[in-house]
């Protein structure tokens, strides 16, 4: 146990080098030394943040592997015992993409537990100067919030998990039993109620990636919706508790309180600018991003792979550097957007750069990629084959607060209130700019379905959709619906009879120009009209709906067949515990249903 304690203290000081997180490492500090003053306690807390980062955290695996396959996107390539095994729901107990993030999340919890125990015990916590007390109260609130985020990720992927709330050196047995997720969620909700009272608003402190009050409130609302939502239980049934309205009320109230603080957090007027800011390392003055994972340092432990793994496919010899192609955004997702919805061309990219010429070329309909973290938007550009691009992973935005509020109001009241409709339409109006947003449904079922669709469009490739579908008990149904829709697009039958079989394009400088009959504008697109064949040979033809008739790089199957290929309802909603973890528990850990 003494050796474990020394390891724990050492880990607290193994820091990254991202802006405010840069500190000197140590190896064998005692607990008293670590929590002797504000600077050392801050270093310990930064060590908790570190476990969000890197390849086994939100740098790639949790953010870019775990949310797929869903009705928005699919992991590219053929099945393997890695990321594609995760995406296809063929999860073997030896898959390192399951085991390594699992362990990192628990390292984060262990570090957070130590901070949560020790910071309130510091004499300065109650007897220091006003500034010292304020800083230590903030550190305590941050530690509670971080632990809640780690546990949320564990529960929504593994269900009932062991949930230690004290440091390992205080535990008589490190291999504790699984805890019912509802009781763990209840503990986290109580912790976050405490945390939000200790944390400052974002305008009260220096801007950086550290947690502020709005982040804790938004996370509390999110966890409350998971607590009140459906999940796969150890019985093999997908269920939710009878007291779910209690938790929808918590979510509604947290969001309502946040919505009154528009000087702290509100929508950026431009959906595109949210992601332009992320990729140019610029803070959003509106504070739409409430909680993000800081990245940097250029290594696999503290940086991120967004823009290298995902985004459009970019050649390393181009001025943009290597990137893209790891996630394919599905044809039905592309066509879920209205033609005037500004989110489509931010969230989905249809171009690639295949050579050093920097000239874009057109991709086929079954090869579309993500767009929010694209490498060619990076400022400054990062040429070459460097893997770590430095983008922060966005965990919660203010548009999520608005839509959580609208969803909860509808559920609590049995129909959308005027406030729910206003929140819903605020998100929609931003996306549509000056275009007509249509009629908002006024019935409970109609409004719920509108919320399901709006969250689909708003949060594409933000690691949210699969988990939303799970808490609504819609994951299996939406996967089946997506397979049908892809086939309908392939065959160009209603409601997709307008989709072109082929599209024609050419380069206008480095950019792509599309052929649209009787339209000379360089920005016109052919997506929403049947194939138009130009008379000039200067236009190049590419398969559009036609591409879906062929097998492809998704397990050498048609796209609709490869999608979530091994998904089994009542099993695949959760990951299995890996074999090494089961062996370590020596029979004291119950495997999830179906594995």
Confidence of residue 513 (pLDDT cuts 50, 70, 90): very high
- Closest Cα partner for 20 from 333, 392, 277? 392
Contacts of 125 (CB under 8 A, 6+ apart): 119, 133, 136, 137, 140
Cα separation, 93 vs 583, whole angstroms: 11
Q: Is the pLDDT of residue 3 over 50?
A: no
- Mean pLDDT for 385-414 is 98
pLDDT tens across 450-503, in order? 999 999 999 999 999 999 999 999 999 999 999 999 999 999 999 999 999 999
In three-state form (DSSP H/G/I as H, E/B as E, the rest C), the secondary structure along 215-260 is HHHHHHHHHHHHHCCCEECCCCCEECCCCHHHHHHHHHHHHHHHHC
* Dihedral of the alpha carbons of 430, 431, 436, 442, in degrees to the nearest 10: -80
Cα separation, 18 vs 297, whole angstroms: 6
- Closest Cα partner for 411 from 447, 367, 377? 447
Tokens of 354: 């295949």
Tokens of 28: 């064998």
Confidence of residue 24 (pLDDT cuts 50, 70, 90): very low
- The angle that helices 213-227 and 244-259 make with each other, rounded to 10 degrees, is 160
Confidence (pTM)? 0.94
pLDDT at residue 154, as a whole number: 98
Cα separation, 67 vs 72, whole angstroms: 10
Cα separation, 55 vs 103, whole angstroms: 12
Cα separation, 350 vs 329, whole angstroms: 10
Contacts of 163 (CB under 8 A, 6+ apart): 151, 178, 179, 184, 187
- Mean pLDDT for 390-403 is 98
pLDDT at residue 27, as a whole number: 52
Choose between 32 and 167: higher pLDDT. 167
- Mean pLDDT for 380-395 is 97
Strand partners, 508: 511
Q: Is the pLDDT of residue 14 over 50?
A: no
Confidence of residue 522 (pLDDT cuts 50, 70, 90): confident
pLDDT tens across 544-570, in order? 999 999 887 799 999 999 999 999 999
Q: Furthest-apart CA pair in the chain: how many Å? A: 82
pLDDT at residue 4, as a whole number: 32
pLDDT tens across 353-376, in order? 999 999 999 999 999 999 999 999
Q: Is the pLDDT of residue 6 over 70?
A: no
Confidence of residue 13 (pLDDT cuts 50, 70, 90): very low
Strand partners, 541: 504
- Mean pLDDT for 225-247 is 97
- Mean pLDDT for 504-529 is 93
Specify whether the CB–CB gap between 100 and 59 falls below 8 A. Answer: no
Calculate the CA 580 to chain-centre distance: 27
pLDDT tens across 48-89, in order? 999 999 999 999 999 999 999 999 999 999 999 999 999 999
Torsion 168-169-172-173 (CA) sign: positive
In three-state form (DSSP H/G/I as H, E/B as E, the rest C), the secondary structure along 125-169 is HHHCCHHHHHHHHHHHHHHHHHHHHHHHHHHHHHCCEECCCCCHH
Specify whether the CB–CB gap between 224 and 206 falls below 8 A. Answer: no
pLDDT at residue 541, as a whole number: 98
Cα separation, 490 vs 549, whole angstroms: 6
Confidence of residue 297 (pLDDT cuts 50, 70, 90): confident
Among 94-108, 289-303, 407-421, the minimum mean pLDDT is found in: 289-303
Average pLDDT, the chain: 94
SS3 content of the chain, % helix, strand, coil (to 5): 45, 10, 45
Q: How far is CA 21 from CA 67, 131, 379, in A?
A: 28, 20, 22
Cα separation, 488 vs 573, whole angstroms: 26
- Mean pLDDT for 334-362 is 97
Cα separation, 149 vs 58, whole angstroms: 11
- Closest Cα partner for 157 from 47, 73, 72, 68? 68
- Mean pLDDT for 125-148 is 98
Q: Is the pLDDT of residue 1 over 70?
A: no
- Mean pLDDT for 212-238 is 98
Q: How far is CA 103 from CA 66, 123, 476, in A?
A: 15, 33, 28
């Amino acid at each position: 146990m003494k050796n474990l304690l020394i390891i724990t203290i050492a880990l607290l000081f193994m820091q990254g080098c991202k802006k405010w997180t840069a500190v000197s490492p140590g190896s064998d500090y005692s607990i008293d030394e670590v929590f002797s003053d504000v600077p050392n306690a801050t270093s310990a807390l930064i060590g908790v943040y570190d476990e969000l980062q890197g390849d086994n955290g939100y740098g790639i695996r949790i953010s870019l592997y775990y949310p797929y396959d869903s009705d928005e996107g699919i992991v590219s390539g053929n099945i393997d015992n890695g990321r594609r095994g995760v995406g296809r729901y063929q999860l073997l107990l030896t898959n390192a993409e399951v085991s390594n993030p699992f362990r990192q999340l628990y390292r984060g919890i262990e570090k957070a537990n130590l901070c949560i125990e020790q910071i309130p015990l510091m004499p300065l916590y109650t007897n220091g100067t006003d500034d010292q007390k304020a800083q230590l109260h903030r550190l305590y609130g941050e530690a509670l919030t971080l632990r809640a985020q780690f546990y949320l990720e564990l529960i929504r992927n593994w269900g009932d998990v062991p949930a230690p709330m004290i440091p390992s050196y205080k535990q008589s047995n490190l291999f504790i039993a699984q805890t019912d997720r509802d009781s763990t969620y209840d503990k986290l909700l109580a912790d976050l109620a405490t945390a939000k009272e200790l944390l400052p608003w974002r305008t009260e402190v220096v801007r950086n990636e550290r947690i502020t009050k709005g982040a804790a409130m938004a996370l509390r609302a999110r966890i409350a919706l998971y607590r009140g939502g459906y999940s796969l239980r150890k019985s093999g049934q997908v269920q939710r508790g009878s007291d779910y309205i209690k938790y929808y009320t918590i979510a509604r109230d947290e969001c309502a309180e946040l919505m009154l603080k528009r000087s702290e957090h509100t929508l950026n007027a431009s959906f595109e600018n949210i992601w332009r800011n992320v990729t140019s390392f610029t803070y959003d003055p509106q504070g739409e991003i409430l909680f993000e994972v800081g990245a940097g340092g250029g290594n696999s432990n503290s940086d991120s792979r967004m823009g290298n793994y995902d985004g459009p496919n970019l050649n390393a010899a181009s001025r943009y550097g290597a990137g893209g192609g790891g996630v394919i955004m599905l044809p039905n997702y592309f066509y879920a957007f209205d033609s005037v919805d500004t989110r489509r061309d931010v969230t989905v990219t249809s171009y690639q750069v295949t050579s050093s010429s920097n000239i874009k070329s057109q991709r086929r309909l079954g090869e579309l990629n993500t767009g929010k973290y694209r490498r060619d938007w990076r400022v400054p550009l990062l040429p070459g084959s460097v893997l770590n691009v430095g983008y922060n992973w966005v965990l919660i935005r203010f548009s999520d607060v608005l839509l959580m509020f609208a969803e909860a109001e509808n559920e609590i009241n049995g129909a959308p209130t005027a406030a729910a409709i206003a929140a819903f339409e605020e998100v929609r109006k931003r996306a549509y700019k000056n275009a007509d947003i249509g009629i908002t449904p006024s019935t409970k079922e109609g409004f719920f379905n509108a919320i399901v669709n709006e969250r689909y469009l708003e949060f594409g490739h933000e690691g949210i959709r699969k988990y939303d579908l799970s808490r609504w008990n819609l994951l299996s149904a939406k996967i089946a619906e997506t397979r049908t829709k892809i086939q309908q697009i392939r065959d160009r039958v209603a409601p997709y009879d307008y989709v072109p079989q082929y599209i024609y394009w050419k380069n206008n400088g480095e950019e792509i120009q599309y052929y649209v009959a009787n339209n000379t504008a360089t920005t016109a697109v052919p997506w929403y009209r049947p194939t138009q064949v130009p008379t000039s040979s200067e236009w190049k033809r590419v398969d559009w709906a036609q591409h879906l008739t062929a097998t492809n790089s998704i397990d050498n199957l048609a796209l609709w067949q490869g999608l979530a290929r091994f998904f089994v309802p009542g099993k695949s909603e959760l990951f299995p515990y890996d074999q090494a973890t089961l062996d370590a528990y020596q029979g004291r850990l119950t495997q999830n249903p179906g594995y």
